[in-house]
Amino acid sequence: MDYETTKTMYETTRKRKLQNNTYLVKTDNGYGIKLHNTIVVEYLPDRTILNSGGWKTPTTKNRINEYMSTGIWSLIQNNGVWLISTGGFGVAATNYVFADGCYYKDKKWYNIGNDIKTINKQRKAVRKYAKDFTQALFDGKVPKPSTGDCWYCSMVVSKPDKDTGKPLSAAMKDKSHIESHIAEKYYVPSLLVNAQNEFGASQASWWVVGDLWNEPQCKGMANIYGRIVKQQIEQNIRRYCYRQLGLVS
């Protein structure tokens, strides 16, 4: 598919649904493939723009691959990094790091992402942050959310997206504050709540968090479920930070 074929398809057929949760739509400047609430591929007269919307999931990757009109190029994943590739990792292959808003024009890629070494360094820092955050929580060093929280993180807690119901992240507008939390080892209570909400934490993990924050109705839950849910809490924090930084979660 490209600009001309999507324009023709849009103007000559009533079929808008292409696949599950995937629609052909008209955009301000062209036509696009919309997955949930994100235009993952947008066709303009002179370029094709790719975007994950922060959701670097297998489904998003599959949709981009199915509909991007970029010749021999495809979107692959290697060690948690999305790459725009001409054919894997052989000697003759060319690979660019994917970034939201990257586009293909005149047989060249623009707005590509950081180098792989930088991304791997970020991922390593996130893994350590999530592990240390979780341990600090279980050690009683992370208090419940309060007015002293990070302003961006505390905004997200009570502001769901009107269409999806998922927490709406003001943080996505400025990821630098997440980077500062990691660098400063600042374990933000509201960030934990956001992570739990966004990735569907189990009831048991909420009970444990409530117990650690001295909620009377959750008393004793950390002793019962703590060992079981500790890994889940760490995973949610890790995935949340990955997504805020635009990394594969």
pTM > 0.85: no
Judge whether 249 lies within some domain.
no
Q: What is the pLDDT of residue 151?
A: 81
Q: What is the pLDDT of residue 75?
A: 92
**For 4-28, what is the mean pLDDT?**
89
Judge whether 177 lies within some domain.
yes
pLDDT at 162 over 50: no
What lies within 8 Å, CB to CB, of 193 at 6+ separation is 145, 157
Q: What is the pLDDT of residue 91?
A: 52
Say how many domains are in the chain: 2
Same structural domain, 124 and 223 = yes
Residue at a domain's end among 89, 110, 131 = 110
**Position of tokens 């007269």?**
45
Q: Give, as one character, the DSSP assignment of residue 216.
A: G
Confidence of residue 236 (pLDDT cuts 50, 70, 90): very high
Same structural domain, 99 and 156 = no
Q: What is the pLDDT of residue 122?
A: 92
Same structural domain, 57 and 168 = no
Instruction: State the alpha helices, DSSP H only, in the chain.
Output: 3-12, 58-67, 116-138, 151-156, 176-184, 189-198, 203-212, 221-244
Which residue did the predictor score with more confidence, 145 or 174? 145
In the chain, the amino acid numbered 73 is W
76-104, pLDDT tens digit by residue?
A: 988 888 999 887 555 557 888 999 999 99
Same structural domain, 55 and 151 = no
Confidence of residue 37 (pLDDT cuts 50, 70, 90): confident
| Structural domain range at position 30 | 3-110
Q: What is the pLDDT of residue 210?
A: 96
